Amino acid sequence: MPDEKIKVLFAIGNLNIGGAEKMVVNQIKNIDKNKFAPHLCTLFPSSRNNYDDILAGLPGVVCHKFIFKSPLDLVSWFKVWLFLRREKFDILCCNLFEANFIIRLVNIFAGLKSVFIFEHNTYWQKQWWKILADRWLSRTTAKIFGDSQAVLDFTSKQEKISLDKFAVMHYPIELPGQKYFDRAKIKKDLGLPLDSFVIGAVARFVEQKGLQYFIRAAAKVLNNCGRQDIYFLLVGYGKLELELINLVNELKINSKFFIKPAKDINEILPILDIFVISSLWEAQPISMLEAMAAGCPVVATKVGGIPEILTEGKNGLLAKSKDEDSLAWKIIALVKNDKLRYDISKEGRLTAENFSLPVYIKKLEEYFITEYQTRK
């Protein structure tokens, strides 16, 4: 280990609430400040739903904000070049395409520092020029991390990059501590009855999350389960919010299905009896692992990296994608079987421990230290 600290830049487009953004926050918060000097760089403005406050004033972390008006904002490109030249980082760590592209391209002209990037999903609709850009820039990239083998295999094939350039880095989660949550108050604030059996999802309201199938499955559960205490809760934000609200009203389940604004998932999990992932495509959902760590049994669609973690009937139930009937019957199976819920909850907790934040951070630090020493 070198005597001086390794200066690391963590770069991402913005800190809007999302899986990749939360991962960056956890990387910066938990990296060993005795060995590393972490800096955060955001390139675009954040929306009102963001993680900015979490990192504001965090000891040992320096934040830099750029305000790109568009990807063709040449003034901002020049400012980033000056920034990289001035700061002389040892390691660059980038997330999501905008930061991966901008930082890696500028780095070529600013000194060619070691770059690690993260691929967070199977981007099957990726534009051709982005594929070519990633393929070309991979030549100056130390390692491409993916949160599942499914992501690595897909990206390697799509971009024609050797698998040797990739490594699996599963999304980390913070295991729940002993913090007390007032379940009665949480339910009251959300408008849920105290004795309600709550089936929920926490997600961005975008096409990928397949939330229309969750809503349609909810209607089937309510019609076929024979229980009056079941309520559904969907928490998040996104461009499809009005469309999802209209679907709930159309199915006439608005008295049993609540859509609420984004909140910290840890404030929602304590009141959930079942957690649902209805994604159409996915890598490794952090929310799924957080639910498992909290002891919440999971029903998830069998897509992407999900079946690498969930084993049917052991630590979760797997439903077909784009199939509200499959999703509904998996939910009903958990609702009707208390022992199955208990067993899946217990196994889920054990699985989640393998994805704990300390394990992840240690692995990431080892990659950085090895690369730093190799370059020295």
- The pLDDT assigned to 226 comes to 86
CATH topology of domain 6-172+356-375: Rossmann fold (3.40.50)
pLDDT at 179: 67
Q: What is the CA radius of gyration of the chain?
A: 22
The confidence score (pLDDT) of residue 312 equals 97
Q: Which two tokens stand for residue 224?
A: 């076929």
Q: Domain 183-353 is of which CATH architecture?
A: 3-Layer(aba) Sandwich (3.40)
Q: CA-CA distance, 304 to 308, in Å (whole number)?
A: 8
d(CA 301, CA 280): 8
Boundaries of every domain in the chain: 6-172+356-375, 183-353
Contact 56, 50 (CB under 8 A): no
Please tell me the predicted confidence (pLDDT) of residue 90.
96
Helix (H) or strand (E) holding 64: strand 62-65
Query: 271: buried, middle or exposed (CB in 10 Å: 19+, 13-18, 0-12)?
Result: buried
* pLDDT of res. 115: 97
Look up the pTM and report it. Answer: 0.74
> How is 73-127 classified by DSSP, letter by letter?
-HHHHHHHHHHHHHH--SEEEEEHHHHHHHHHHHHHHHT--EEEEEE-S--TT--
Residue 278 tokens, joined? 């209805």
The predicted pLDDT at position 178 comes to: 60
DSSP for 175-224, written as a single string: PP-S----HHHHHHHHT--TT-EEEEEEEESSGGG-HHHHHHHHHHHHHH
Tell me the two tokens of residue 296.
């919440």
Which pLDDT score is estimated for 19? 78
Q: Name the residue with tokens 């904002």.
A: 73
Same fold, 6-172+356-375 and 183-353: yes
Let me know if 208 is exposed, middle or buried by CB neighbors in 10 A (0-12, 13-18, 19+).
middle
pLDDT, residue 322, reads 97
Average pLDDT for consecutive 10-residue bins of the chain (376 residues)?
A: 83 89 90 95 88 79 92 95 96 96 96 92 88 96 93 94 94 74 91 96 95 98 94 96 98 97 87 97 88 96 94 97 98 97 96 89 96 89
Under 8 Å CB-to-CB from 162, ≥6 apart: which residues?
Answer: 156
